[in-house]
Chains A and B, each alone.
Chain A
Amino acid sequence: MNSEELEQIAETVRLENAKFDHQINVCMGTGCLSQHSDKLKDALSHAVAGQGKKCLVRRTGCMGLCAAGPLVLVDPEETLYQHVKAENAEAIAQSLGGEPVEALQCSLREHFDQQVHIVLENSGHIDPERIDDYIARDGYKALVKALTEMTPNEVIQQITESGLRGRGGGGYPTGLKWSTVAKAVGDMKYVICNGDEGDPGAFMDRSVLESDPQRVLEGMAIAANAVGASKGYVYVRAEYPLAVSRLTLCLRDARRRGLLGNGICGTQFDFDVEIRLGAGAFVCGEETALIASIEGKRGTPKPRPPYPASSGLWGRPTLINNVETFANIAPILRKGGKWFASIGSERSKGTKVFALTGKIKNTGLVEVPMGIKLREIIEVIGGGVPGGHKFKAVQTGGPSGGCIPEELLDIGVSYDALLKIGSIMGSGGMIVMDDTSCMVGVALYFMEFCMTESCGKCIPCRAGTAQMYTLLTRISNGTGTMDDLELLELLCTTVKEASLCGLGQTAPNPVLSTLKYFRHEYMEHIVHKRCPAGACVMKAAEEALA
């Protein structure tokens, strides 16, 4: 495969598409599929054929706006339809070339206008199960360029220049990680893609793997060449069957096209990728635990150093990046590190994909430039809190993050800004809560999560989270005391400072942040034995009723 051959494939796809007057894209991500968008696609194909229209009906990945699914996008008019059912197929086919079907039209300009799509540029536009569709949209150009025109050092230089930081949540500079692995000495090196999206309430990685899997593979191959690795693993949750099946297809197609395997693009570069299924352990998102899991062991973390960059999978130098990080690589190489660095804020470059969910009108996936105000994401892109309720907090970073109150919504989204106010960027879950959510209850929910997900290796995390859970339960049901609160705060510090891995070190964050910004809610539970949100059940009330 070389750039001419790529161009030829792209040209064939373009010619094929040009035969049609219209293209109907049907979203077939997990969200829309659960509303039978597969049947809708069949109905549309049938209707189009029945009416003799020259129209291509295409399966695509996620279009982002899950709240309005199933979604259908008609090109070249760019008409977006929402809540489309199979019954509507005839009407949509009828409207091609004329006036759009008004009743189904989705007019959420402000939702899409504020977004900048880099990672999601192909989502909703290509068939994720057709490698040629990806190639037609500049796919694998970056890999060919990296292999034939650039040295590994130049590639790492571009990534460093772009300012890209790890999208899994930690925000470690990607270029620095790559150069560390590149410098490490080993007879064999590995590249791992971390798709163990354990954070409940986050689904960015699932969406990227379902909608544009080739892009992740391309990023991995570029990374492997840059650091000198020849074997890759994608570690993906078993709970994402659609992502796994699309990824499997995508690997097969890439091998057939000679984009994986031996002597890629006629160079000396050999690289192949295997899929490893997670088995439902949140701790496996931690890199050393993930490596243990790939080795077929219990997913317990190890103390670092040694870092995986020097001694990772089977003791060999290993590069681990998140799905979204790898998805950013190809555009950076195509358009240059400087281009990427021009987007975003001072120390956080590029864009970030967020899974916007909870009590918000436009739930779904959004990609925004770093530095955008939280308020803009929630009120403009998200459409605000529905049902006449009042916004209370937004939670980022999942069980490792914190709750951000209204008065801080005007900060710009970046790794450092979020850390400063007691939350973290995390992998990209963003859950909006309104006045019906109790902050003590939310802290309790996350503590229960961390307690059950603690791997049990170190005592601060294993015992600490269990004790914090007991204390929070007491406060939540109105039997807690001021001493309990004091002990809870003390434990937060112990667990944070003494735990072995990220899971334990960040487990107190939801408690700390709610204590910081919503202390009055804790006080109400303790002093007045009542839950201001009306969400918690008080033990005294329960006993009185019994």
Chain B
Amino acid sequence: MPAITPPPLPSDDKRWKIVNGTMRKNGFARHALIETLHTVQSSFGYLDDDAIRFVARSLRVPLSQAYGVATFYHYFSLKPPGKHTMTICTGTACYIKGNDKLVALAEKCLGIAQGQTTKDGLISLTTARCVGACGRAPVVLCDGELSGQMSGEEMVSQLEGWARG
């Protein structure tokens, strides 16, 4: 097998070295695509075109396949997240405990739909399929931190707290 020369890092941002590290650990194997995209997302917060191109070239995966994988899995985001993220769980237990009201309230409060980020880039509103904390439904994640038995007032005061900075 001919020696593989990986493409140069897109910039001297240190985070690319972490991404490269994941690929090296997997011997630049094609099956490391999802693992690498996970590293990109955890390092940069989202996957942009440059990142997908870089990973695809490094792993010798067709760009179409890399893009296909990035868009197939809900966990990957192609848009930069806001400074803060409010994630509302939409699992069955949370649904039964009335999470639709939480989603509607948050949308009204922020003036955006789920999956969007406020214009000032401060708060993103997302939903999760199920975070597995059903015993404490309804559940939200404030910047990744889980809070259970969430009431509308509590959630709004958290959102207002972020807005005040």
Contacts and interface: CB of A to CB of B under 8 A. Distances in A.
Interface in B15-35: 30-35
A197 interface: yes
Interface string A204-248: 001000000000000000000000000000000111100000000
- Of the listed residues A197, A280, A395, the one surrounded by the most CB atoms of chain B closer than 10 A to its CB is A280
Nearest to B91: A200
Nearest to B59: A296
B126 to A, nearest CB: 11
B155 interface: no
A449 B94 CA distance: 14
B72 A298 contact: yes
B95 interface: yes
Interface stretch (B4-12, B116-124, B132-140): B132-140
A357 B93 contact: yes
A433 B134 CA distance: 14
Given A298-B69, A299-B73, A30 B132 contact: yes
Rank and list the top 10 A-B pairs by shortest CB-CB distance, nearest first: A66-B135, A279-B73, A201-B92, A200-B91, A280-B75, A200-B130, A203-B132, A280-B74, A296-B31, A357-B93
Contacts of B146: 30, 33-34
Contacts of B31: 294-296
Nearest to A205: B132
Interface in A281-301: 281-282, 293-299
A460 interface: no
Nearest to A33: B146
Interface stretch (A40-48, A143-151, A359-367, A495-503): A359-367
Given A296-B34, A398-B92, A282 B72 contact: no
B131 interface: yes
Nearest to A455: B72
Q: Which bracket fits the contact residues of A?
A: 35 or more
A358 B96 contact: yes
Interface of A: 30-31, 33-35, 66-67, 69, 197-203, 206, 237-240, 276-282, 293-299, 355, 357-359, 363-365, 395, 398, 429, 431-433, 437, 445-446, 449, 455
Contacts, number: 140
Given A365-B135, A395-B92, 12 more contacts: A31-B136, A35-B148, A67-B135, A200-B91, A240-B132, A276-B35, A296-B33, A296-B35, A297-B33, A357-B93, A357-B135, A433-B96
B91 A201 contact: yes
A414 to B, nearest CB: 22
24 contacts: A31-B135, A31-B136, A34-B148, A66-B136, A67-B135, A200-B90, A201-B130, A238-B38, A239-B128, A239-B132, A276-B35, A278-B75, A280-B73, A280-B129, A296-B32, A296-B33, A296-B34, A297-B33, A357-B93, A357-B96, A358-B137, A395-B92, A431-B96, A437-B96
B68 interface: yes
B149 to A, nearest CB: 9
A69 B147 CA distance: 13
B135 to A, nearest CB: 3
A200 B69 contact: no
A474 B65 CA distance: 37
B97 interface: yes
Contact of A30 (B35, B73, B92, B133): B133
Contacts of A277: 34-35, 38
